[in-house]
């Protein structure tokens, strides 16, 4: 019988091919050999009320953000990315579910919760074998029930459930899954909020020991260190949001931070020093996450994104014009002008995303769900308004949205549409539609509706056709008795 073992040139060729395949495979997986090819870890970091102009890489001159600026230099910076809404709850709903506010379950800071079984970033990635964790501010509903993040697909949660609770960076307790974790802070509550059992959700710490954002960074590091399988971490810092109750209780201002850091000697108002300090502190925390990824040798196997839930606020004594927090854009939080909804988006994935790229592709929070689904090797869920950004991230041809849509229901119902470079805004159902050309007028200073009536008619048709659930979220001229609390 003849031997089946390769000999001579045949054996040498087989050995060479095997060695070449080994080298190629090792090079491809060197970033993190523990991850399946094509399934990166995903970390989505969300700031709270951080404006388009609050980061150095977006033009900020006085607030120091070296780690986020380096993230932009080492990765991808989007210049025309949009939040889901102009306040937190509907914006987070759009991010989690991949649906804009014309279709979303949550369209204002009201009492609603996500529907049972509604696909979310977490549930989609969990179905692909990801370990899913949410750390920081959940902020959907008043208050959400214990276990709400787990109901929506997260294996673990640590942080604030209620958006009211998240106003206070020195709270009495935080939630770990469905259990309260007591902290060492002593909190005073406004008397007028002692009703319906909700007093614990607001307040101002008179004795401060535990700064919640620091705890969130520590928790995020623990999530990263558990490398048993690909993970999805949604890290929602509650800064630079203000403590809206602090000034009611005699505090000088409503931005809480342990110290002013590098801004201590500045001649600025104290509240502006606090705002700068808390942004720089978050930036330093994000830097520690990048260092941990490198230390664990999973940096190249991890896609990290950073954004904000809406534009800058003017709460707690802050004046967004002090730091030009909206950059060149008009408006801020609670506006559907660009300053209220256009936000930073940075993406970093060493070895996969080319460093230093800048994109002017219009995108929005509802694009994250199809993007993450594609990265996880899954079919994109049918009920999404988003488009995967994987082509844009990888340097390929990127499909474009026909339009982007928002509606907002505090006070009179507002609507906005972006279609290519046209932007339409209507401040109430009976108000005339304003029209802006963002290419020549990104600051929305010139209303050109009168000279572009055909475009206005097309935008009005989109306002009508793209929204659902009219009985639950009717367009209204004035606030109703059930108008959600504006906290």
DSSP element (H, E) containing 173: strand 173-176
Q: Is the pLDDT of residue 280 over 80?
A: yes
Band (228; pLDDT cuts 50, 70, 90): confident
**Per-residue model confidence as pLDDT tens digits over 309-357:** 999 999 999 999 999 999 999 999 999 999 999 999 999 999 999 999 9
Return the minimum-mean-pLDDT range out of 127-136, 204-213, 247-256.
Answer: 247-256
- Residue 27 confidence (pLDDT): 39
Non-local (6+) Cβ contacts of 418 within 8 A are: 82, 362, 403, 404, 424, 438
Q: What's the rounded mean pLDDT across residues 205-226?
A: 97
Q: What's the rounded mean pLDDT across residues 109-123?
A: 93
Could you tell me if 256 and 243 are in contact, meaning their C-beta atoms sit under 8 angstroms apart?
yes
Which backbone phi and psi does 31 adopt, to 5 degrees?
A: -60, -35
- Residue 250 confidence (pLDDT): 84
Could you tell me if 323 and 402 are in contact, meaning their C-beta atoms sit under 8 angstroms apart?
no
Q: What's the rounded mean pLDDT across residues 40-56?
A: 98
Tokens of 6: 């390769």
The Cα–Cα gap between 83 and 331 comes to 14
DSSP element (H, E) containing 10: helix 8-29
Q: What's the rounded mean pLDDT across residues 32-54?
A: 81
- Residue 45 confidence (pLDDT): 99
Could you tell me if 254 and 238 are in contact, meaning their C-beta atoms sit under 8 angstroms apart?
no
DSSP 481: T
- Residue 26 confidence (pLDDT): 38
Tokens of 389: 């950004």
Beta bridge partners of 180: 175
Q: Is the pLDDT of residue 173 over 80?
A: yes
DSSP 84: S
Q: Is the pLDDT of residue 13 over 80?
A: no
- Residue 430 confidence (pLDDT): 96
Q: What's the rounded mean pLDDT across residues 413-426?
A: 98
**Per-residue model confidence as pLDDT tens digits over 386-406:** 999 999 999 999 999 999 999
DSSP 424: E
Return the minimum-mean-pLDDT range out of 18-22, 76-80, 92-96, 163-167.
Answer: 18-22
Q: Tell me if residue 90 falls in helix, strand or coil.
A: helix
The label of the residue with tokens 């509907």 reads 90
The Cα–Cα gap between 81 and 328 comes to 15
Q: Considering only CA atoms, which of 467, 463, 473, 471 is closest in space to residue 430? A: 463
Q: What's the rounded mean pLDDT across residues 449-473?
A: 95
Tokens of 130: 């990801």
Band (480; pLDDT cuts 50, 70, 90): low
- Residue 483 confidence (pLDDT): 41
The Cα–Cα gap between 141 and 161 comes to 9
Band (472; pLDDT cuts 50, 70, 90): confident
Q: What's the rounded mean pLDDT across residues 80-95?
A: 98
Non-local (6+) Cβ contacts of 126 within 8 A are: 132, 153, 155, 232
Q: What's the rounded mean pLDDT across residues 134-156?
A: 94
- Residue 249 confidence (pLDDT): 83
Q: For the chain, give the percent of residues with pLDDT over 90.
A: 81
The Cα–Cα gap between 444 and 138 comes to 32
Q: What's the rounded mean pLDDT across residues 35-57?
A: 89
- Residue 247 confidence (pLDDT): 84
- Residue 12 confidence (pLDDT): 44
Could you tell me if 152 and 166 are in contact, meaning their C-beta atoms sit under 8 angstroms apart?
no
Q: What's the rounded mean pLDDT across residues 150-154?
A: 98
Which backbone phi and psi does 449 adopt, to 5 degrees?
A: -60, -40
Query: Which CATH class name applies to 37-400?
Result: alpha beta
- Residue 20 confidence (pLDDT): 45
248-258 CB burial, b ≥16 within 10 A, e <16: bbebebbbbbe
**215, 217, 218, 221 alpha-carbon torsion, rounded to 10°:** 160
The label of the residue with tokens 């990824």 reads 293
DSSP element (H, E) containing 126: helix 121-127
Q: Is the pLDDT of residue 215 over 60?
A: yes
Domain segments of the chain as ranges: 37-400
Q: Tell me the pTM.
A: 0.91
Q: Is the pLDDT of residue 233 over 60?
A: yes
Band (94; pLDDT cuts 50, 70, 90): very high
More confident residue, 130 or 19: 130
Band (190; pLDDT cuts 50, 70, 90): confident
Q: Considering only CA atoms, which of 37, 30, 43, 369 is closest in space to residue 225? A: 43
Could you tell me if 262 and 64 are in contact, meaning their C-beta atoms sit under 8 angstroms apart?
yes
Burial of residue 225 (CB within 10 Å: 0-12, 13-18, 19+) is exposed
Q: What's the rounded mean pLDDT across residues 266-273?
A: 98
The Cα–Cα gap between 298 and 381 comes to 28
Average pLDDT, the chain: 90
Q: Is the pLDDT of residue 29 over 80?
A: no
Q: What's the rounded mean pLDDT across residues 30-43?
A: 61
Q: Tell me if residue 40 falls in helix, strand or coil.
A: coil
- Residue 227 confidence (pLDDT): 77
Q: Is the pLDDT of residue 418 over 70?
A: yes
């Amino acid at each position: 019988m003849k031997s089946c073992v390769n000999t001579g040139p045949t054996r040498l060729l087989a050995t060479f091919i095997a060695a070449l395949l080994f080298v190629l495979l090792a090079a491809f997986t060197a970033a993190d050999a523990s991850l399946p090819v094509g399934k990166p870890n995903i970390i989505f970091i969300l700031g709270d009320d951080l404006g388009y102009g609050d980061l150095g890489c977006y033009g900020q001159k006085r607030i120091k953000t070296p780690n986020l600026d380096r993230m932009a230099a080492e990765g991808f910076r989007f210049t025309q990315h949009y939040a889901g809404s102009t306040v937190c709850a509907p914006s987070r709903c759009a991010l989690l579910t991949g649906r804009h506010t014309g279709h979303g379950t949550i369209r204002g800071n009201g009492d609603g919760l996500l529907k049972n079984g509604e696909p979310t970033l977490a549930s989609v990635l969990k179905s692909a074998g990801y370990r899913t964790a949410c750390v920081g501010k959940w902020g959907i509903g008043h208050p959400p029930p214990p276990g709400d993040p787990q109901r929506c697909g997260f294996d673990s949660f640590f942080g604030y459930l209620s958006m009211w609770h998240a106003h206070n960076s020195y709270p009495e307790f935080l939630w770990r899954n469905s259990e309260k974790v007591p902290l060492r802070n002593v909190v005073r509550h406004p008397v007028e909020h002692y009703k319906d059992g909700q007093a614990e959700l607001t307040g101002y710490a008179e004795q401060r020991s535990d700064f919640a954002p620091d705890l969130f960074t520590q928790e995020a590091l623990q999530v990263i260190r558990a490398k048993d399988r690909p993970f999805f971490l949604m890290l929602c810092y509650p800064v630079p949001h203000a403590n809206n109750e602090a000034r009611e209780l005699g505090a000088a201002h409503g931005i809480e931070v342990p110290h002013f850091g590098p801004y201590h000697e500045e001649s600025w108002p104290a509240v502006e020093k606090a705002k700068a300090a808390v942004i720089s502190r978050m930036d330093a925390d994000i830097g520690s996450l990048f260092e941990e990824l490198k230390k664990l040798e999973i940096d190249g196997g991890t896609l990290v994104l950073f954004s904000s839930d809406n534009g800058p606020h003017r709460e707690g004594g802050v004046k967004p014009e002090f730091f030009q927090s909206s950059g060149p854009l008009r408006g801020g939080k609670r506006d559907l002008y660009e300053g209220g909804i256009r936000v930073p988006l940075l993406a970093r994935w060493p070895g996969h995303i080319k460093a230093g790229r800048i994109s002017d592709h219009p995108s929005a929070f509802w694009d994250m769900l199809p993007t993450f689904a594609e990265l996880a090797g899954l079919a994109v869920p049918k009920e999404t308004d988003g488009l995967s950004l994987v082509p844009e991230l990888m340097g390929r041809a990127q499909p474009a949205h026909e339009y982007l849509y928002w509606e907002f229901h505090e006070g009179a119902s507002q609507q906005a549409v972006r279609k290519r470079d046209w932007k339409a805004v209507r401040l109430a159902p009976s108000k005339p539609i304003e029209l802006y050309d963002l290419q020549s007028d990104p600051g929305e200073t010139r209303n050109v509706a009168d000279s572009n009536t055909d475009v206005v008619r097309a935008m009005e048709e989109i306002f009508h056709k793209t929204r659902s659930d009219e009985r639950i979220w009717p367009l209204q001229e004035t606030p109703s008795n059930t108008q959600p609390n504006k906290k």
